[in-house]
Amino acid sequence: MLKNCGNHNLSRRHFLLGAASAAGFHLTKAHADAEETSARAATRKTARAVVFINLSGAPSHLDTFTPQDGPWNPRNADLTEFPGKIVLSKAFYPNLTKITNDLCILRSVQSWEAAHDRGQFYLQTSHPSNPAFAQETPHIGAVISRELSDAKLPLPPFLSFNGGSMQGAAFLSGRYTPMNPTPTSTGLSTLEHNYYGAASANRFEQKFALLGALDAPLRAAPFDEGMASYSTFYNSAKNMMYNPSIANVFKYSTDDQGRYGNTAIGRSLIVARNAIQARNGAVFVNTFMGGWDTHQQMFDVTYPQNLYNQNNDLDRALYNLVLDLKASGDFQNTMIVIMGEFGRTPGPLNARGGRDHYKDAMMAVLLGGGVKGGQIIGEQSGDGARIIDPGWKGGRPIQTEDIAATIYSALGIDWTKGILDTPSGRKFEYVPLAATGTFFPIEEVFGG
């Protein structure tokens, strides 16, 4: 088992996983009776859905949720310690500092990667990036959808907002492919086509039935997985048409937009809230928030992507999401996860007033869905360069594999599962090496 990032055993494992060639295999979906293995792990089952806020570009841990007292901080940072030894900047997080009793901040996290594309693949899948196996490595949202989706409910189980490079469902069914709507206050214009007035819905049903009859031979025996997935997703889309409960998920008021902030992250979290509260199918909601690749001018207020703007936008949107989910009773069974693909260089800023890529220390934040708030797990050195106390029973830095296992456990999903009959015949593990006990949930997140 790894004790620190200097141990190369797991790095060799990541290399060996990618050494074999998968060229030439044909994609087929994992069918309902796919062969599986499992160590039969006991799960927490404290949540029914996840909202994953992907801070793409890699946020600086020192200038977000794991700040340290140092000369690099802006003069108005106003670092304040709260119960549970949580320290946050009131300048960056004027709202989240009101609900620190809900936050569980992981301060002993490391990444295996320090390049954006590879880091995002790892963050989204908990697997090492390898072109040979990319088509057999689904996003954790697709895996969760496979486990928890209800075919009787009309909303796709996996929603994703604000673009970003998505891994998707890979070899799993097209039903688990993320739907990528653009949030607008008026909702999705494609859910209804009222060319025929009151008869529009009926005409649509007739035309769709005709299309189904014409396509029946191809749908019954599709040429490849792409065609099969398209058919599945097409049917899912049809179930959303002329359905007021679905249409309302994608609409919001000007008041909501004002509270959450008229920003990409704000608008997406309003729709995420709607989807969670509607309880009509969504189990994993991903939203990208870009702008965290802060190599320069981090504290220059004239620079568009300065950290005041970035942190304040996140603060406003996340705070109101929490308030609304609490008001509807959904906070306690919705796990919210906030993290990026790696950290940024520690200590003083670079010559351009920013920070560069860094993998040896980073952060993640969890709240809701059974998470015990008001706590930090682990500790970093005073300059944010290294992990000095893992702070959990693993006795080593927390890796993305452990966070993925924690998410699965919260949802009642056995993180040690593996699918044997993949297109190439290679076993797909929900969390690599979890069945052998190398990676496992961070039980301290739940309070023990």
d(C-alpha 33, C-alpha 44), whole Å: 25
Rg of the chain, C-alpha, whole Å: 22
Token digits of residue 349: 């800023």
pLDDT of residue 33: 56
pLDDT tens for the chain, 448 residues long, are 343 433 334 443 333 333 322 222 223 344 555 789 999 999 999 999 999 999 999 999 999 999 999 999 999 999 999 999 999 999 999 999 999 999 999 999 999 999 999 999 999 999 999 988 898 999 999 999 999 999 899 999 999 999 888 899 999 988 899 999 999 999 998 888 888 888 888 888 888 888 888 888 877 787 776 677 667 767 777 888 888 999 999 999 999 999 999 999 999 999 999 999 999 999 999 999 999 999 999 999 999 999 999 999 999 999 999 999 999 999 999 999 999 999 999 999 999 999 999 999 999 999 999 999 999 999 999 999 999 999 999 999 999 999 999 999 999 999 999 999 898 889 999 999 999 999 999 999 999 7
d(C-alpha 243, C-alpha 226), whole Å: 27
pLDDT of residue 15: 31
pLDDT of residue 234: 75
Whole-angstrom CA distances from 411 to 11, 419, 430, 439 are: 29, 19, 13, 17
Name the DSSP letter for residue 72. T
Element containing residue 52 per DSSP (H, E): strand 49-54
Closest CA to 93 of 52, 63, 73: 63
How many CA within 13 A on the CB side of residue 429? 21
List the Cα angle 104/106/107 in 5-degree steps: 135
Closest CA to 237 of 169, 142, 229: 229
pLDDT of residue 241: 84
362: phi then psi, degrees, rounded to nearest 5:
-155, -165
d(C-alpha 444, C-alpha 378), whole Å: 10
Contacting residues for 85 by C-beta, under 8 A, at least 6 apart: 376
pLDDT of residue 209: 83
Closest CA to 371 of 328, 338, 342, 341: 338
Contacting residues for 205 by C-beta, under 8 A, at least 6 apart: none
Q: Are the C-beta atoms of residues 154 and 281 closer than 8 Å to each other?
A: yes
Ordered by where they begin, the domains of the chain are: 26-191+243-446 (3.40.720.10)
Element containing residue 271 per DSSP (H, E): helix 264-278
Q: Are the C-beta atoms of residues 55 and 363 closer than 8 Å to each other?
A: no
pLDDT of residue 174: 83
Q: Are the C-beta atoms of residues 297 and 352 closer than 8 Å to each other?
A: yes
- Please list the residues that pair with 360 across neighbouring strands: none
